[in-house]
Amino acid sequence: MEELVFSRAEFEAVLPSAILFATGLLLLLMDTCFGDRDPNEDSSPKTHLVLTGVAGALLAFAALSVSAGDTSVRLFAGAMTDDLFGRFAAGIIILATLLTSLAAGGYLSGIGKHRGEFHALIFLGAGAMVLLAQATNLISIFVAVETLSLALYVLAGYVRAWRESAEGAFKYFIMGAFSSGFLLLGMAFLYGASGGSIQLADFGDGLDPVLGSVGTLLVIIGFAFKVGAVPFHSWVPDVYQGSPVLAAGWMAVAVKVASFAALLRLVMATGDSANMAGLIMAIAVITMALGNLAALNQTNLKRMLAYSGIAHSGYLMIPVGLALHEGSVNPKVLAGSLFYLAAYLVTTLGVFVALSSLKHGDRDCDTLDAIKGLGRRHPLIALAITLSMVSLAGIPLTGGFMGKYFIFRDAVLGGYWQLAVIGIVTSMVSIYYYLRPVVAMYFHEPSEKIEKVEAAWGLHLALGITSFGILYLGVMPERLVALSLRSVERLGM
Amino acid sequence: MFSLTACLYLSAFLFSVGIYGVLARRNILVILMSLELMLNAVNLALVAFGRAHAVAGAAGEHRGQVFAIMVLAVAAAEAAIGLSLLLLIWRKWRTIDVRDLCRMNG
């Protein structure tokens, strides 16, 4: 019998997620204890919650750098690994949470729906996401995936007064639980195929060929649901359209990061024993094509961004397929994924935070009509949206361009120039729908009365950070590229 | 008593019933039950594999069974969220038919 001892390395590895969970619980308590019951409470900015959240996120970010070195250490009898890869992904998740919680006060008080649950839920979800990025056995992956999903279902239905919100949350719940069933079945098969191991590291060879392939396939399907890859994407547009815009932004970024981190670990572990490279590349191609084409004629911005998120999942699938190609598992190309995710963080949150600073009565300002003439009314917000759209489209000097550049370059170097061509063509198509809002903002007369939320200091700060990040990653990507290369070199399992 | 194959067939059957229920039924309550059925079908497979692969006395002998317990806990949390969403929809629109929940599309 092994003795159960909580080692220092284990303590350091769980510290970031522990801080996030603790912050979530603290926020819940604070809202219950200090909330005065006056009717206007939901419209107050509740700065104490915002500041607590920001402090918690900063603390968790600092805790990431506590554990030292490039080594990857297996902890908790293999349930999780502390490596640079996991910490890189955790860093993106925590930054997304930090920016969201900065913006949440102004946004939620603006639409008159400010309750402590929102803050608590993003922190509880983020804690689970950080665990998922570090998880290396089937049980810890499953529990982390489910914990984060439960937080997301509630966030999607956060605004109970909107019909779309409840509808989106319910669709998300049904589809999410359905996909969890497949994920879990795949895990059971992997467990059976490996002869009784739940450790990712044991799935490399010696898997029962049939059971192992089916298991890997089912798990990939489960994660494809979570990241919204075609053909498992149908929930994404409804959920984004129904969710409050800031929650949609946080979901878009953080879920992708956590799910891709887990998917990468899993794929690296199983290797190409199941011939999954071709399948993943096929998913990448149809996801890029369908996401971008479906986004073309959307007039609801949240829905348009949902399809854009699907398309970006497609781009992110390319390195996964490349890493597996021809049976030789090559982790180097995964650096492209990590960099892309970091660029995606600032780009996507940029546009969602910018939209959060606008409102239309007590609704989100989320249609093309509603932002007409924004360039004249609120030039700075219009500028931030433009910058994010340009980066999403992948135009040079932005982080989005560098991310796409690295992925397409790796595809060409790996001998899959067709993937790069399809990626470039679909990116060009995407310029059309990304620039439509820009045209609406600058070249149309203001048609509706757009209101800007009061108490917008947090939104402004978050927008400043994302805009700076987009330009920084576009002009000086070297440091982050080096860090992502170092991260994937010693990917632990 | 029962062979591993027999248990897996039963599990696959239950899982398929669950899939059918989610895809074909319109009543939200039945869909929630079908989702639970899917998870529990997998639990059966996990426990069956756990018993088949057990090496007496070895460390990690009961991994499959432990996994199944974790799944039970997760399923309970999921049911709580599912039922509260159901309650929200019922209170607002007095319906538990999924056909009434398709306002957004395109």
Q: For residues A444 and A369, what is the distance between their CA atoms, to the nearest angstrom?
A: 9
Question: Which pLDDT does position A200 carry in this prediction?
Answer: 85
Q: For residues B43 and A184, what is the distance between their CA atoms, to the nearest angstrom?
A: 9
CA B40 to centroid of chain Cα atoms: 5
Alpha helices in A111-194 (DSSP H): 116-134, 138-156, 163-193
Establish if A108 belongs to a structural domain.
Answer: yes
User: A–B: how many Cβ contacts below 8 A?
Assistant: 115
Residue in A166, A173, A195 closest to B82 by CB: A173
Helix axis angle for A116-134 and A84-110, nearest 10°, is 170
Question: Which pLDDT does position A464 carry in this prediction?
Answer: 95
CA distance A146 to chain B (A): 7
Question: Which chain A residue shows the shortest CA-CA distance from B30?
Answer: A174
Tokens of A153: 């279902």
Asked if the model's pLDDT at residue A2 lies above 80, the reply is: no
The CATH class given to the B4-100 domain equals: mainly alpha
Q: How far apart are the first and last CA of chain A?
A: 24
Q: What is the pLDDT of residues A244-288, one digit of tens each?
A: 999 999 999 999 999 999 998 888 887 765 578 888 899 999 999
Task: Find out whether A410 and A395 touch, Cβ atoms under 8 Å.
Answer: no
Q: For residues B64 and B60, what is the distance between their CA atoms, to the nearest angstrom?
A: 9
Q: Which of A315, A321, A357 is nearest to A340 (CA)?
A: A315
Tokens of B51: 């018993």
Q: Which of A8, A61, A484, A423 is nearest to A261 (CA)?
A: A484
Establish if A69 belongs to a structural domain.
Answer: yes
What average pLDDT does chain B have? Answer: 88
CA distances from A48 to A27, A125, A442 (A): 9, 20, 37
Alpha helices in B1-101 (DSSP H): 4-24, 28-52, 63-93
Q: For residues A314 and A310, what is the distance between their CA atoms, to the nearest angstrom?
A: 7
Question: Which pLDDT does position A1 carry in this prediction?
Answer: 45
- Residue A452 is given by DSSP the state E
Asked if the model's pLDDT at residue A177 lies above 70, the reply is: yes
Record: contact A164-B46, CB cut-off 8 A:
no
Chain B residues with CB inside 8 Å of A139's CB?
66-67, 70
Q: What is the pLDDT of residues A6-49, one digit of tens each?
A: 788 888 889 999 999 999 999 999 988 876 666 667 788 888 89
Question: Which pLDDT does position B6 carry in this prediction?
Answer: 93
Chain A residues with CB inside 8 Å of B30's CB?
none
Q: Which of A224, A81, A205, A13 is nearest to A197 (CA)?
A: A205
Q: What is the pLDDT of residues A375-426, one digit of tens each?
A: 888 999 999 999 999 999 999 999 999 999 999 999 998 888 999 999 999 9
**Residue A156's domain spans which residues?**
8-489
Record: contact B78-A146, CB cut-off 8 A:
yes
**CA dihedral sign of residues A132, A137, A143, A149:** positive
Q: For residues B20 and B32, what is the distance between their CA atoms, to the nearest angstrom?
A: 12
Q: For residues A432 and A272, what is the distance between their CA atoms, to the nearest angstrom?
A: 37
Residue in A139, A177, A242 closest to B104 by CB: A242
Establish if A73 belongs to a structural domain.
Answer: yes
Tokens of A390: 């340009």
**Span A471-480, average pLDDT:** 93
User: Using alpha carbons only, what angle is made at residue A240 by residues A234 and A242, rounded to the nearest 5 degrees?
Assistant: 105
Question: Which pLDDT does position A26 carry in this prediction?
Answer: 96
The total number of structural domains in chain A stands at 1
Q: What is the pLDDT of residues A296-347, one digit of tens each?
A: 999 999 999 999 999 999 999 999 888 887 555 667 788 899 999 999 999 9
Chain B residues with CB inside 8 Å of A142's CB?
67, 70-71, 74
Q: Could you identify the residue written with the tokens 């981190």?
A: A261
Establish if A1 belongs to a structural domain.
Answer: no
Q: For residues A296 and A348, what is the distance between their CA atoms, to the nearest angstrom?
A: 18
- Reading phi first (left if > 0) and then psi (alpha if -120 to 50, else beta), residue A206 is in left
Q: Is B33 on the interface with A (CB under 8 A)?
A: no
Beta bridge partners of A137: A199
Q: Is B71 on the interface with A (CB under 8 A)?
A: yes
- B89 CB-near residues (< 8 Å, 6+ apart): A166, A170, B28, B95, B96, B101
What average pLDDT does chain A have? Answer: 89
A287, amino acid identity:
T
CA B92 to centroid of chain Cα atoms: 27
Q: Write out the H or E segment, with its range, that includes residue A80.
A: strand A80-82
CA distances from A4 to A25, A138, A205, A293, A445 (A): 27, 20, 30, 54, 68
Residue A100 pLDDT class (50, 70, 90 cuts): very high
Q: For residues A94 and A116, what is the distance between their CA atoms, to the nearest angstrom?
A: 19
Record: contact A241-B104, CB cut-off 8 A:
yes
Q: What is the pLDDT of residues B23-71, one digit of tens each?
A: 999 999 999 999 999 999 999 999 999 988 876 556 667 889 999 999 9
Question: Which chain A residue shows the shortest CA-CA distance from B77?
Answer: A150
Q: Could you identify the residue written with the tokens 């919650």?
A: A49
CA distances from B35 to A395, A453, B98 (A): 44, 41, 15
Asked if the model's pLDDT at residue A70 lies above 80, the reply is: no
**Share above pLDDT 70 across residues of chain A, in percent, rounded to a whole number:** 95
DSSP per-residue codes, A312-365: HHHHHHHHHHHHHGGG---GGGHHHHHHHHHHHHHHHHHHHHHHHTEEETTEE-
Q: Could you identify the residue written with the tokens 């982390």?
A: A144
Residue in A177, A188, A196 closest to B78 by CB: A177
- Reading phi first (left if > 0) and then psi (alpha if -120 to 50, else beta), residue A439 is in alpha
Question: Which pLDDT does position A65 carry in this prediction?
Answer: 84
